[in-house]
Amino acid sequence: MMLSSSSARAAARMGATYLARVVPSRLADPPPFNVCYSSSAGSAIAQTPFPATVRGTQEKWIKRFESESIPEPETSIVNIIAHVLELSGPSEVGNHQNSSLNDVQMAKIEELCECRLARMPIQYIIREWDFRDLTLKMIPPVFIPRPETEELVELILQQMDNEQETRFLEIGCGTGAISLSLLKHAPKASAIAIDQSRIACELTRENAVSVGLAERLRIFKHKMVDDLPQELNGQQFDMIVSNPPYVPSMLIPSLDPEVKIYEDLRALDGGNDGLTVIKAILRIAGRYLRQDGVLWLEVDSTHPPVIEEFLTKHGDLMGLRFMASYKDLFQKDRFVEIVKL
């Protein structure tokens, strides 16, 4: 993951590795999750004779999470403690190991830990997460931005003239992480973001206001099939960016519980081959990118050669050329650059 120096807090939080990923379009917006349950949490917790200090609470819950095979047990409890104590970040927990916890704090930690026992992602439990140098609100079931997407933003910014007026479109904005991160570092840029989820659009708007970028971002709730919202007909963009659904439908049941139970599967399911939404985005790019405009995609590691072959056959007709693919931190082909002819 390529992080700027200002991403230290985000890096400290990162302990969970998620599978990169729209369920069939017939599904409506899933309701937000407001409660989680753990059927066996109460009795074992009450019987654990650890003192009410940060250290004792941390050790107790690490053991409990390990006994329940909860991924990233230490990362989970450290983030929960930091959140309840209102610390600047999880790295600060180490400086408070001998601090006592009052009854209210202990009750809140237990409540949030039971959510983790129910396999709720830590980002949803503490209701925020760092993306590069932004702290963004997170609510279920809006798709949680992954570390690889930070790399995509970094890659774009390396090739983007931040002092030039740039108008870009994000397809599938989720929390708004990509658009807001690009806007923060490209002060003359403006963006339009679309998502089929009302909850995602509202969350993107809330995050934009929170980080002071709402004036340069327009948001549309739109279910993209082969076209953009009617209000955007005839418009041209310097860049289109998307982290689209790209998990093949048959693999959805095998995803981790944190993903398939809590996140909006429409942000994951890419159809039979994982390319359904990607091909729709290619058609959009052919129509809405200006000449020499760039399409950036985050895709499954098996997709770049397939996309390149598809554009070799159909690119001239669509007005698109495959330029390059780029590897992520794990040396997997993850990002694709396509240019409008």
Average pLDDT rounded to a whole number, residues 124-145: 97
The whole-angstrom separation of Cα 88 and Cα 286 is 45
CATH 3.40.50.150 is right for the domain spanning 142-340:
yes
Cα 198 to chain center, whole Å?
Answer: 16
Quick: pLDDT tens for 249-264.
Answer: 999 999 999 999 999 9
At residue 19, does pLDDT exceed 90?
no
Under 8 Å between Cβ of 49 and 287: no
Task: Tell me the pTM.
Answer: 0.85
pLDDT band at 5 (very low <50, low <70, confident <90, very high): very low
The whole-angstrom separation of Cα 31 and Cα 171 is 22
Average pLDDT rounded to a whole number, residues 191-214: 98
Quick: pLDDT tens for 285-338.
Answer: 999 999 999 999 999 999 999 999 999 999 999 999 999 999 999 999 999 999
Q: Which of 5-14, 134-143, 145-154 has the lowest mean pLDDT?
A: 5-14
Per domain, the residue ranges of the chain are 54-118, 142-340
The whole-angstrom separation of Cα 97 and Cα 83 is 15
